[in-house]
Amino acid sequence: MSAPRRIAFVGECMIELFHRPGDEAGTLRRTVGGDTLNAAVYCRRALGETRDVEVHYVTRIGDDPFGAEIPAFIADEGVETGYVRVAPGETTGLYAISRDAAGERSFAYWRSTAAARRLFADGQDADIEHAIEGFDALCFSGISLAILTPEGRARLLDLASRMKAAGRIVAFDGNYRPRLWTSKDEAGAVIAEAHASASLSLPGLDDEQALFADADARSATERLLAMGASAAIVKSGGDPAIVGDASGLREIAGVAAPRIVDTTSAGDSFNGAALAVLLTGGTLDEAARAGHRMASLVIGEYGAIVPRGATVWPDGPRATP
């Protein structure tokens, strides 16, 4: 029996606070979230019963009471926690979600001293870096890069470039959050470098337009390929995704959502399902279809990581729904 394929999702996981309509006014529910963690969870769920792929999460968390809850939460989702480092004396990030009547969300964050910011900093975590380089796939985001120190950021980008050169899947979602960067110019330069280091760029159109003023999803896809990404899937909410690679550009239609109550993790869940397809031998077009399907389910529930029963695919990500 061959060894399972392995993918590492790198970034920050935080405590998530949100109000669910119908709850008493002022009541906040508590769970765990973060863009790359969300993607890791939905990747594992999309894989269904297969154990041919191991999904790993890579981060640092504090040893505060909130942080102490996180490894068990991740493990309960079937995601491996061997590279979740608990940092003594450090804290875990926290964020709260607000939503408008259409389900669009806004965030408030408390993360400036979070332990995740020191991942790959001060010469530490070299063992994790070495281990991940032997994986089959890596996924990170603009948020992953934004929170890191300059050393940590450079090491993650170098790791991505080495893995891409070795023929691994390197997936990157720009996820531009202006408050995390010192300037738009800094963000644009770093995110452009990350796209160039990727074998698959997975951005949302709105984030790319905010940084690079793309006219539409097609022009964004063409720019990403010109930057050096081997392939790209540009997401535009429920509109068709644009898939691009050496064979050209094509549209992959969206999937109508039964209902829309919370778009918090739409793009992250798309990424997770798409990567599940690629890790099991599927095509880019199949990956985009699975991404749309997963996102259409996730936005019908509240929270970044929705109830498991809504999104587990027993037959795997390439099965016909």
Q: Which residues of 101-116 are buried (b: 16+ CB within 10 A; e: fewer)?
A: eebebeeeeebeebbb
Instruction: Quote the CA–CA distance of 173 and 205 in Å, as a whole number.
Output: 11
125 catalytic per annotation: no
Q: Which of 136, 207, 245, 268 is catalytic?
A: 268
β 248-252/239-245 pair status: antiparallel
Residue tagged 């940092």 (tokens): 87
Count other C-beta atoms under 10 Å from residue 132's C-beta.
Answer: 24
Residue 195 exposed, middle or buried by CB count within 10 Å (0-12, 13-18, 19+): buried
Contact 260, 295 (CB under 8 A): no
Active-site amino acid positions: 268
